[in-house]
Amino acid sequence: MAVEFIPAAPWNGRSDPEDGADAVRLHHLIADDASRAVLGFASEAGVIRNKGRKGAAAGPASLRNALANMAAPSGAEPFSDLGNIVITDDDLEEGQAALSARISDALERHDRLVVLGGGHETAFGSYCGIAAQFVSKRIGIINLDAHLDLRLVGDNGPSSGTPFAQIRALRPEHFDYLCLGVAEESNTQALMNRAQEWGVAMVSDHALIADKHAADGAIREIISRSEIVYLTIDIDVLPHYQAPGVSAPAARGVDLSTIEHLVDHVLVTCRELDCPCPLADIVELSPPHDPQNVTAKSAALLARRLLFADL
């Protein structure tokens, strides 16, 4: 089968019973029917079509391993693991449809779902899932990424470089997209022109390096006109020394502490403006290029924030 669903495997990790009841790590918190959940999308078909480095299909497993031994925050509640959608061939479109259906179903039972990718082709399936569940809602898209991923679909079909152009094609009049960390040298003028034509808001990597608050206003603006927020994080927004294991490592990048601030600011602003963020994904982790697991650990820090913020 080109696309299959694999139920969640048990989480394992270190236990420290000698330290008492508060020695809790994330692998201790897995439970059925929790309010928060993770879902894996093991795909690299879009990365291959986009001429990137192979390896993203192993991202969900590596992210789970990095999460498992992390200490649980104080008062942390359980979360659920909903398993993996696995693409074993080039059938990306079928995989995205399967992801969309799983997300739509999961959002009926969980107040926040964190999808573990996979390449950034994950984003089209993610958006279709949240749009199917919240049909009449205005959805604001916030992408932390060096790349705009606004390429038009070519002869090879959709890829990790096309998701936001595909999303716009669904409902052009409702397309509301903010990209944070844009690297000028990583986006052709054609993409920059398209972003301007389509009303895409952008904050550059240079601006965020100079001032971690550079995007705070843009974040508040998009959330204030939205009813639901979909947050997507491409790990290649980080510098190469914090995220070497990605499809396209960044020579400059935006440092992890600033990305953590952006995630926190999105979630805090969503709460202040009563605009839920029920769906987030973390993509482009490529474990074969991450021998020291640095990238997985960086990604896991962000996933931990998303799972336990606002609880």
**Is 236 part of any known ligand binding site?**
yes
Which strand (E) or helix (H) includes residue 86?
strand 79-87
98 with 5: CB under 8 angstroms? yes
Range list of H helices, 171-255: 189-197, 205-210, 216-224
**Is 234 part of any known ligand binding site?**
yes
**Is 147 part of any known ligand binding site?**
yes
Helix-helix angle 122-133:163-170, to 10 degrees: 30
205 with 185: CB under 8 angstroms? no
CA distance 117 to 158: 16
143 with 178: CB under 8 angstroms? yes
Which pair of structure tokens corresponds to residue 72?
Answer: 């649980």
Q: Which of 133, 126, 124 is nearest to 164 (CA)?
A: 124
**Is 211 part of any known ligand binding site?**
no
Rg of the chain's alpha carbons, rounded to an integer? 18
Phi and psi at 38, nearest 5°, equal -120, 150
Which pair of structure tokens corresponds to residue 22?
Answer: 């508060």
| Residue list for the binding site for Mn(2+) | 120, 145, 147, 149, 234, 236
| Residue list for the binding site | 120, 145, 147, 149, 234, 236
